[in-house]
Chains A and B, each alone.
Chain A
Amino acid sequence: MRARLTHWLNGRGFAGILIGLPYLWLLILFLLPFLIVVAMSVATRTPTAPPFGFGGENPLVNLDGYARLFTDDLYIRAFTTSLLNAGVATLLCLLLGYPMALGLTRVSKGWRNILLMLVILPFWTSFLLRVYAWMGMMGRNSWFNQMLTDAWNWLTPEGWAVTSLPLMHSNFAVVLVMVYTYLPFMILPLYASLERLDPALDEAAMDLGSRPFRVFLDVTLPQSIPGIVAGALLVFIPAAGELVIPTLVGDAASPMIGRVISDEFFSARDWPMASSVAVALLLLMVVPTMLYSRAQARADGAEAKPGGQTQP
């Protein structure tokens, strides 16, 4: 018996345990809960505990939740707000992150390591505290708000003068804090793809008489598209489903999807509706995710080519 066990452990058992244990874990604690959400999204809400019915006197498939997504103004607005906020934040991250990543490839090696560490450092500190830092910055009495207020009063006609700007509890605040917290996710993949580029190509284009900006448009930008796609998705996906940032600095009157899901679940105790919204959000994520994995596969293919530098 023992001998057979040893034999099994050193044969098929080795792979079996290595694969089986994490597989089983993810099946029970990731796939099963996910399937529960999908099933719940077509269940019917009941006054029982837990508050749903499925089969029996209730219909087996109840699509009311999904229908409400298209008819109820609350969900339409939540989805629009989320996609808009996440989209603007992604665009701003790209506009700020791209020149930063490109700049990082142009500084000396010693500086580069220090600056890369400084990009990553905020990521290791608490996410919540980074959001909180901006709550302090944007408050009506803060030095930052007063500075912006002075600038506003100086730039605009006298009649528009204000004592402080209403920065907090607005979509502006949500986008600003999203850019702040997710910018490293944009910079790092961009840097990884820009750092791999061959500077000889730049020099060749320059020698042939191209102006620096043309070199950027014709040589650098097209080669960094996988990095742009990766960075954009790493920012857009968490931003669209964000719960913490809009709760703390957002406008409570126009909630984002994350907040709607959580409110449906806890306040309204409508599990099927919360699940329908969740599934709809996931479907919206599937398209960008597939784009991402395709870009990733292409980037990995490029990396595997001989002569390509490995990532730091």
Chain B
Amino acid sequence: MKRRPWFLFTTLVFGFAFFYVPILSMIVYSFNESRLATVWGGFSTKWYVSLLSNRQVGAALMLSLQIAVISASVATILGTMAGIALARYTRFKGRLLFSGLVTAPLVMPEVITGISALMLFILMADWIGWPGQRGFTTITLAHITFSMVFVTTIVQARMMQADRAIEEAAMDLGSRPWQVLWDITLPTIFPAILSGWLLAFTISLDDVVITSFTTGPGNTTLPLLIWSKVKLGVTPDINALATLTVLVVGTGVVIAGILLNRAEARRIRDERMAYRSHD
């Protein structure tokens, strides 16, 4: 550009200030001595001490992580299957309904997803006696359902770009479909599967609404614990918790970003090498 678009740059600066000033403010106030969360009363790390010695927080975090790992893993398996199926099989009975079922949860308001899952679980308990009590299992089932469609979206998009010729070559050479899936398709789309898992994991770890509808007595995940606390107002230990979250997530995202970039660069380089040796 010959002209510098000052207006656009100013908006960028303003926009990023808008994004990050509240987070910075929260981090600063997590070191506040005062009990009043918004009035500065000197530097202190006491909220971190009280947070780290809080057993409830630790238990809620463990429960959240367990649910997130299990639901993300199952969602990744189911979502990947659906993504491959939709990309490979362009015509089968009920495909229209199937593709509708994997897009509808993406746009469904969370309240409705939550309330419909809750009604299903209550009615199932009434009809077939299961689930007797809502909690870990029901939360996990609901999380798998609404996070698997995100995995499907990512995997399907990657499959559309993938070269089918290698799979066809393997089939022609006598490989069984499962062998082709395992040896060729899955390694090719592995980065997409990995980002799908990470997305499903984050969605599960972060969810409040659907969890609050499908949970039962005594099953408090970390977002539910925060939710019940912040409904009553601003408390300083949540500032400390938020700071730790930003720290952990920020580090994780930066590392993941670097690794993914590197993997992508390697893939491109390998492809170029392959073409060059082919010439």
Contact = CB atoms under 8 A, between A and B. Distances in A.
A271 interface: yes
B190 interface: no
A26 B115 contact: no
A62 B84 CA distance: 43
Interface string B29-57: 10000001111000000000000000000
Given A36-B123, A132-B26, A26 B208 contact: no
A248 B253 contact: no
A144 B92 CA distance: 58
Nearest to B142: A29
Report whether over half of chain B's contact residues are helix, strand or loop; otherwise say mixed: helix
Contact of A14 (B36, B123, B178, B233): B178
B270 interface: no
A22 B79 contact: yes
26 contacts: A10-B177, A14-B181, A18-B81, A19-B92, A21-B81, A22-B85, A26-B82, A26-B145, A32-B120, A33-B120, A96-B18, A100-B11, A103-B9, A121-B249, A121-B253, A125-B250, A126-B223, A128-B223, A132-B230, A133-B25, A180-B18, A237-B109, A241-B110, A262-B111, A278-B112, A282-B108
Interface of A: 9-10, 14-15, 17-19, 21-23, 25-27, 29-34, 36-37, 40, 50, 96-97, 99-100, 102-104, 106-107, 115, 117-122, 124-137, 139, 141-144, 180, 183, 212, 233, 237-238, 240-244, 247-248, 257-258, 261-262, 265, 271, 274-275, 278, 281-282, 285, 289, 292-293, 310
Interface of B: 1, 3, 5, 7-9, 11-12, 14-16, 18-23, 25-26, 29, 36-39, 78-79, 81-82, 84-85, 88-89, 92, 94, 98, 101-105, 107-112, 115-120, 122-123, 126, 141-142, 144-145, 148, 152, 161, 176-178, 181, 202, 206, 208-209, 223, 226-227, 230-231, 233-234, 238-239, 241-242, 245-246, 249-250, 252-254, 257
